[in-house]
Chains A and B, each alone.
Chain A
């Protein structure tokens, strides 16, 4: 979510370029392209109410604030100052500006700073003077006059660039960068601030700018995950309860203050003991990294990996072949005995002479297909319902979509019930006929009419065998399935991948694959297996099928192949962007392993111990920090010990834990401070009287402190 509080939509002054004029369509398109959610229209000395209303009425989820960029005559400087109002006060804002500007043109208007202050004092505006090296900046003394004079109105300073904004944040000044767009064709090049704490209204934004604790707490509580009690047995004086957020949680402090041994170890223990299976742990130790990285190159396929070859349930089909047996059919002598029995022939009861000609297998297959269809349909509908479609559909359309999806689900379920009834009805009919006949035969000692000749049963049995063998044959002819998950990025070398080939195709087997095969299974035996499957397919629905299945089973027994996944092979290698094998250096392995662990978004908890060690600040800045921010946005729990100010500052962690060492006599003692950049305070856990300034302690303690604040200009958070 980005914000642009300095945006032009019109050429109003003579010096303004024509390319500032923009249509509503282009305006919305360009803002959407940069993911801007809030924008203020701030043309020079001019406010167009109709254009504001038109642009504000959009279906892109973009909130438009009414605003203006005014010429101010200060005591020591002349400069520009942006004034922004609430969207629901646009009419009042328009009247206010009409009175203010009067008969002036945008070119001729300007106002003395004292008059300006008197006009806006304590009103619900946001004021953003140009500052520093930005053109038309007001001097410090005039800005201070403005800040002191306008009461409770939030003042943000607009410097020339993000670097300057960072410097100002480091010196405790609130800043804001806007696009100040001059050419809408180049709007996508604008560097706009990200919003760490989202807001949904102008009022909420004002509260955020005033560091309203309740507003910040509402956001923070939404991210709250769980409490971790840090009470290690070997350090009885350490007894801290930490709220770990679904966000970035930073632990910093000098060396030897127990960041890793106490805090991180206890947090890790907490999540492991609570049964979290989705915990990713990164340690900076070289040996661990290299070993863990090298394990990425070996891969033993799992049974479940067979599903990568095809969606068909191949293992079940293999078992169908493995368990296949011939069916018994009614011999002609049974018909002779029935006809020869005078008693039975003369029976008037239907059941003794009844037959059953339906295919139970077919009706069962129909039911199973409908069942699968229903399960898939229900899952797809549930998935659609999870997606937040509300912003994209009107209420009527939402209701219509809900109605159609429910109808689809109901109809699919009706089909399941219908086919189940058909199948079970046929099954029970056949079962009843056979049961009654058996009872009658046993009681009377005569033969009744056979229920079926066995022709349908022979066909069904062949059909099962043929379907199973044909699907396996097809899968064995597939080219290898290649997965290419990204391991990570090396700044100079580009993206590095882990390539995994899966195959059960004997033609694709090479020496490098076979090392994964179970003992007793060779390339020759796999080819023999494939020939057996081919024979089954080619002999299907013919008398040769019986010999083919006997041969296959005999062969299969010799081949030690108990299940189809025994034949699944995979080959893993590390490759670069050009698909060439790549052998990273130990340092690169550490970088890639760290990146790989953070790329795995199946995890919910990421525990990183000094990730900056071994990988360098450049890699942290360019690759790791953007990923950490991305994971935090997705509500993952990230707990990091660090000495790197870039990680501690630029990620805007919801929880910062600072460990301080002090001396009591000759004895070293420790304190734990807890805080966040949003309130700029760190509160001592053990002594409520002790407080630290978050910015100050971060800059003093962490490596690269001031630079980190300079870089942090990209992230708005305070």
Chain B
């Protein structure tokens, strides 16, 4: 199982503060940090579960060029990624051996 770091980049997109998760070279999941939306989050979660079957994944936060790192969403992103990272560890321990 290979180590894989998923970079989540905090940036402005259409006036919203979003975290862009680079799942693969061709796939990004973009999450609005001030949204009640469940659909995109669930898609991100399923993508991460799929990756867990093949890779030992970790999450890291990056900032888009010029993004104000004192912005409140920088704190939101840090807290969210930390909580998500902890839960990924729990799932990793309990994954079925094979699909």
Q: Which residues of A contact B (CB under 8 A)?
A: 326, 328-329, 331-333, 335-336, 338-340, 355, 357-359, 362, 449-450, 452-456, 458-459, 462-463, 466, 540-543, 545-546
Q: Which residues of A contact B13 (CB under 8 A)?
A: none
Q: Which residues of A contact B47 (CB under 8 A)?
A: 543
Nearest-neighbour CB distance to chain B for A446, whole angstroms, equals 15
Q: Which residues of A contact B56 (CB under 8 A)?
A: none
**Contacts A454-B45, A455-B48, A546-B42 known; 19 new A-B pairs at CB < 8 A:** A328-B38, A331-B36, A333-B35, A333-B36, A335-B76, A335-B80, A336-B72, A340-B72, A358-B90, A359-B90, A359-B91, A455-B45, A458-B42, A458-B45, A459-B45, A462-B46, A466-B99, A542-B46, A543-B42
State whether B49 touches A462 (Cβ < 8 A).
Answer: yes
C-alpha gap A180/B22 in the complex (Å): 93
Task: Scan residues 55-89 of chain B and give those whose CB is less than 8 A from a CB of chain A.
Answer: 72-73, 75-76, 79-80, 83-84, 86-89
Is B94 close to A, CB under 8 A? Answer: yes
State whether A339 touches B38 (Cβ < 8 A).
Answer: no
Known contacts A331-B36, A331-B37: A456-B87 contact under CB 8 Å: yes
State whether B73 touches A336 (Cβ < 8 A).
Answer: yes
Residue of A nearest to B31 (CB): A332
Which of A336, A362, A450 lies in contact with B34, CB distance below 8 A?
A336
Known contacts A455-B48, A459-B91: A331-B35 contact under CB 8 Å: yes
State whether A450 touches B32 (Cβ < 8 A).
Answer: no
Known contacts A331-B36, A455-B88, A456-B91: A336-B76 contact under CB 8 Å: yes
Q: Which residues of B contact A (CB under 8 A)?
A: 19, 31-38, 41-43, 45-50, 53, 72-73, 75-76, 79-80, 83-84, 86-91, 94, 96, 99
Residue of B nearest to A340 (CB): B72
State whether B49 touches A336 (Cβ < 8 A).
Answer: no
Q: Which residues of A contact B53 (CB under 8 A)?
A: 541
Residue of B nearest to A357 (CB): B86
Known contacts A329-B41, A331-B38: A336-B33 contact under CB 8 Å: yes
Nearest-neighbour CB distance to chain B for A94, whole angstroms, equals 72
C-alpha gap A326/B84 in the complex (Å): 19
Residue of B nearest to A451 (CB): B83
Q: Which residues of B contact A458 (CB under 8 A)?
A: 42, 45-46, 49
Nearest-neighbour CB distance to chain B for A677, whole angstroms, equals 67
Q: Which residues of A contact B86 (CB under 8 A)?
A: 355, 357
What are 8 A-B residue pairs whose CB atoms fall within 8 Å in the complex?
A329-B42, A332-B34, A333-B35, A336-B34, A355-B83, A453-B84, A462-B49, A541-B99
Residue of A nearest to B45 (CB): A458
State whether B99 touches A332 (Cβ < 8 A).
Answer: no
C-alpha gap A543/B72 in the complex (Å): 31
State whether B89 touches A357 (Cβ < 8 A).
Answer: yes
Residue of A nearest to B36 (CB): A331
Q: Which residues of B contact A546 (CB under 8 A)?
A: 42
State whether A335 touches B49 (Cβ < 8 A).
Answer: no
Nearest-neighbour CB distance to chain B for A281, whole angstroms, equals 53
C-alpha gap A462/B91 in the complex (Å): 12
Residue of A nearest to B33 (CB): A332
Q: Which residues of A contact B89 (CB under 8 A)?
A: 357
